[in-house]
Amino acid sequence: MNPGKKENRKTHVIMLFIFFMIFVVLLSSPAWAAERDTLILKARQTSWKGNYDEAIAIYRQLINKNPKDIEAMLGLAAVLSWQKKYQESSDVYRKIREMRPDIPDGDLGLLRLKAWQDEHAAAEEGLRALHSKYPERFDILMLLGQVTAWQKKYQSSVEFYKKALAIHPDNPATIKALATTYKWMKNTEEGVKLYAKILEEEPNNINALMGTGILLSQGGKNKEAIVYLEKARDVAPDRADVRAMLGTLYSWTAQLDDAVTELQKSVALEQGNISNRNINNYIALGRIFRWQKKKEESIKLYQKALELDPNNGEAMVGLGRVYLFDDQWDKAEELYMKALTINPNDLDAKEALAQLKRFKAPEANIRYNFFESRLHNPISGQIASTFIDHRETFESFFKLSPKTTVQARYQHAERRQLSLSNTSTDFNVDTETVSVGLNQKLPYNFDVRLRYDVAQFTNDNAANSTTDLAKTENDYSGFFILTKRKDRHLWRISLGRELFIDTNPGVSTIENINTYSLSYDVGFSDSFSTLVVLSLDDNSTFAKLQQDHVIRARYRLPNYKKLQFEYQLRYLSDPDTYQNTIGVNFQNQLGKSVRYEASYFVTQSHNTLDNFLRNSFRLFFSWDILPWLTWGTDAIVTLDHLNADIDTIQNYQTYLTIRF
C-alpha cells in the first residue's frame, strides 16, 4: 500500500477526532455554564446559612473544574476568612492577585484580613491607596468606612459611607453601617433619622430598635428610649443584650423592680457564659439592690461578678460601697485599694476612697446664727419688744469607729430683749455653753444620739437692764434620742431639756422646758410619707404638762422629685390650739457641689384667745468649695398676722464645715 495514502488517512482521522471534540465541547459548554452558576449560588446560600464546610467543598469543586475561576476563588477565600482560617484565605487571595493583577479584589481581600486581625492602621493605609486607583469601587468605600469607625475616626467613616451612598443611594447595608457610626459617635439627631428610615422598611429590625434606644438614652431621653427597647424585647424575647439594656434604662428611670426583672432574665439567658455582658448584669443588679438597701443580695451579686472576673474594678468598687454603708470600712478600703492597684487611673475607685476618707476624718463646724423676733403691741400697733439672739458655735466630731462618733461643742450666745415702749433693755445676757455628745449605732438597726450641755448665764450690762438676772446662773440642758429603723418604718423616742430666759416675774430668770416625745414615720412609697408625733412639754414656768401633737403628710411628685407638698395638723393644749399648715418645698442640685432649697408655708391657728395667720419663707444654700470645705447659709423669715398686727421672726445662719 502506498505509504503516502496511509499518512493521509491518519491525518484525516486526527482531524475528525479534533472536530468531534470541539463539537462535544461546544455542545456541553452551555450546560456546564448553567451548572456552574447553580453551584455558585448554592455555595453562597449555604455559607450564608453558616454551613461553611459544605460551601468550601462546592467552591473547591468549581476550582478543580476551572483553576482560573476567579469568582469561585473569591468565594472560597471569603468563607475561609469567616472560619478564621486567615492563612489559607490569604493564600487564595494572593493567587487571585497573581492571576489577575488588573483587578483590586486580591489586594482588597488581603486588606480585609488585616482589618479583621486588628491591624486597622495598616489596613486603612492600603485601602486608601486602592481607593485612589478605584474611587468608584463600592466595596472599597464600605471597608474604609468600617476600618475608620473601628479606629474611632468617626468623621472619616461618615464621609466614606456617604460616598458609598452616592453610588448606591438606597443600599440597606450602607445605611445600617452609617447609622452604627452615628451611634458610636453619639450623634443622636442623625443616627435616629437613619434608624427611622431602616424601621420604615423593617419595623422589627432589632439592631435599628436597639440603636435608636441607645441614641435616645445618650441624649438623655430615657423614657423614649425605653419604648424602642420594649419593642425590641417583644420582637426578640431571648436576646440577652436587649434585656440587659432595657434593665439598665429602667434603673436610670427609677423603675427598680422592672430593672431587676429584665436584668435577671438577661442573666438567665447568659447562664454559664463568662461574658462581659453577664458580668455587667451582675454588677447592675448588685447596684440596684444596694439602692434598695438589700445588702445581702447586693453582696452576693458583686461577688458573683468577681468570681467571673477577679480583676473587675467596677465590681470591687460597688462591693466596697455596700460595705461602706454597712459600716465595714476596713473591707471597703481594702477593695478600693485593690481596684487602684489593678488600675491606678480608676476614677470611681479614687472617688470612693476619697468618700471613705471623708467619712473617717474628724469634722469641724463653725456657725454663726442671728435670730430676731419683733412683737407688736396689739393696742398701739407699734413694735413692743425685740428679742435678739446672736450665737457663735464651734463643734467637732470624732469618729472612734464606724459605729461611734463623739461630739465636742462650744457656743457663745448674746441674748438681748429690747422694750421699745419705754426705750429700755429688759435684759442683756451672755451665755457660754460647753457640750459633749455621742452618736452610737446599736444592733438590730437601733441608734442612740445624746448630748449634755452645761451653760453659764452672765449679765452683760446689768446697769442698763430693767429685768436682768440677779446673779450669774449655771444650768444644764441636752437630749436623748433612741431610733429604730426597719425598711420604710422609723420609730423615735426622745427626751429633751431646753433653757430659756423668762421675764414674767419682773426679774429675768432661767427657766426650762422638758419635752417627752414619741414619733412614728413611715414611707408608703418613694413619693408619699406620713409622720405622727406625740409630745408632752413640762414647762417650769407653768409647772404642768402641755400637749403638743403633730400629724404630717408629705407628697413628692413622682415625675419631678424636686418638688414636694406638705400638710400638717398640730394640736397644742392650754389653751387648746389647732394649727393647719400647708406648704411646698423645692430642692435641687447643681453638679455635685451645689445644693439649694426653697420653701413656703402657710399656717392658720385657732384657739379661744386669738387667731393668727403665719407665712414662712425659707432659703437654703450649700456649696462644697473643696473636698474638705463646705460653706452654707440658711435663712428663715416668718410673718405672723394677728388682726392688724404683723409680728416678724428672722433667723439667719451661715456655717463652714471643715473635714480634716
Rounded distance between C-alpha atoms, residue 395 and residue 409, angstroms: 4
C-alpha span between 133 and 102 (Å, rounded): 11
**Distances in Å between the alpha carbon of 202 and those of 142, 213, 239, 617?**
22, 16, 18, 57
Check residue 11 and give its pLDDT: 57
DSSP-derived secondary structure letter, 574: T
The ranges of the chain with pLDDT < 70 are: 1-32, 272-275, 378-381, 421-422, 462, 505, 643-644
Instruction: Quote the cell numbers at residue 126.
Output: 492600603
Query: Which contacts qualify for 290-296: CB closer than 8 Å, 24 or more apart?
Result: 290/318, 290/321, 290/322, 290/325, 291/256, 292/256, 295/322, 295/326
Closest CA to 378 of 611, 67, 653: 611
Residue 359's alpha-carbon distances to 41, 425, 591, in angstroms, are 70, 46, 21
Question: CA separation (Å) from 556 to 255, 563, 585?
Answer: 16, 6, 9
Local structure of residue 524 (DSSP, 8 states): S
CA separation for the pair 572, 587 (Å, rounded): 30
Q: Among residues 146, 222, 221, which one has the least CA distance to residue 184?
A: 146
In the prediction, which pLDDT does 274 show? Answer: 66
Nearest to 569 by CA among 532, 528, 598: 532
User: CB-hemisphere CA count at 13 Å for 24?
Assistant: 6
Entry pTM: 0.63
Per-domain residue ranges of the chain: 361-659
Give the E-state strand segments of 193-304 in sequence order: none
Gyration radius (Cα) of the chain, Å:
41
At 395 the pLDDT is 95
pLDDT in tens, 431-477: 999 999 999 999 988 999 999 999 999 988 767 778 888 889 999 99
- Which residue from 337, 361, 358 is spatially nearest to 349, judged by alpha carbons? 337
Measured CA to CA, the distance from residue 332 to residue 321 in angstroms comes to 6
Domain 361-659 class in CATH: mainly beta
Write down the pLDDT at residue 339: 94
